[in-house]
Amino acid sequence: MIKVDLVMWTKNGEKTLGVVLDRINRVIPKEVVNERFIVDDRSTDATKDIATAKGWDVYLNRGFGISDGANTALSYVQADYFCSFEQDVLLAEFWWNSVSRLVQGKDVVVASGLRFLPRSNLFFNIECYQLTRQSTHFMGGYGKTLDNTIWDAHVLRGLGGFPKLKQAGIDNYLFHLIDAKGYKWLVDYNVQSLHLHSGLLNELRHYYFYGLSLPEPDERISKFCNAYESNDWQHFLVWFLKSPVSSLKMAKKMRDARLLLAYPSVRLCWLLGYLKGLGVLHDCTSLTAKRTQG
């Protein structure tokens, strides 16, 4: 059985951190854990106190944001493998048993489960619909995230660690880099953790932020992956224009009328964010409010 360090990067996570750490401490057997620590990005709430009370060490992010936090965490990792988590992802009870087996496969250097929004969230069934379209052997970027993941620390360091990106897209960049180097990142689609997001406006900000972040990793991935098809604003516009029809199809399949509103809203946020990321959209709406982590 592999031995792992447990790491998390945090910022003002007191609302969810306690229950998330309790679940991690319960789900992952003590005998496989070497060290457990968070890298905190200058929280102004009780995040650090909560982590300490739950038995986790606390280190300061040597820079700012997720890229710096992840690389700061990697610098403290001592075990051959480590698990990375985000402060608002509540692990599935059988997460360790399933995902730890995946990462020990041939050429597998990263393994994850999925995470879904609460059922009460307006956007819950969007990702559930995506799952109905994937086979269990799907090898694309679906499900590749940093928030419930086991890494081969030596291979990751050999690849240069976590990429330094201004916004998001670390997972997308690493998935393509790992694939280009002949390694594998596997996902167990049956392991479904809970992403503790709430609030309509908060969710729309996340989707806007994802669109805003995409141009940078797109440009960098295309430099080492000739087969990579970069996005452009026309694609996002077409997806938005088609979204009312797509949402009707989704709503029927998932039996969730909320998707008639949710999916077009998502596509609009992606479009606006992407245009802003390209520098095309200079005047943005209230969605330009500060990014929330998660």
Q: How confident is the model over 188-246, as pLDDT tens digits?
A: 999 999 999 878 888 999 999 999 999 999 999 988 887 787 778 899 999 999 999 99
Residue appearing with tokens 């969730």: 256
**Measured distance between the N- and C-terminal CA atoms of the chain, rounded to whole angstroms:** 30
pLDDT at residue 134 in the model: 64
pLDDT at residue 282 in the model: 61
Q: Bigger pLDDT: 167 or 157?
A: 157
Distance CA 98, CA 33 (A): 16
Residue 17: other Cβ atoms inside 10 A: 25
Distance set, CA 249 to CA 203, 215, 227 (Å): 22, 29, 30
Q: Which residues contact 235 (CB under 8 A, 6 or more apart)?
A: none
How many C-alpha atoms does 121 have within 13 Å on its Cβ side?
21
Q: Is the pLDDT of residue 151 over 90?
A: yes
* Residue boundaries of the structural domains of the chain: 4-198, 202-288
211-213-219-222 Cα dihedral, nearest 10 degrees:
-70
Q: How confident is the model over 247-278, as pLDDT tens digits?
A: 999 999 999 999 999 999 999 999 999 999 98
What's the average model confidence in pLDDT over 108-122?
95
pTM of the model: 0.89
Q: Which CATH class name applies to 4-198?
A: alpha beta
- In whole numbers, what is the pLDDT of the chain averaged over residues? 91
Q: What percent of the chain has pLDDT over 70?
A: 93
Distance CA 35, CA 233 (A): 44
Across the beta sheet with 148-152, the strand order is: 57-60, 33-40, 4-10, 81-86, 148-152, 108-116, 184-195, 89-90
pLDDT category at 135 given cuts 50, 70, 90 is low
Q: Is the pLDDT of residue 85 over 70?
A: yes
Q: Is the pLDDT of residue 285 over 60?
A: no
pLDDT at residue 198 in the model: 78
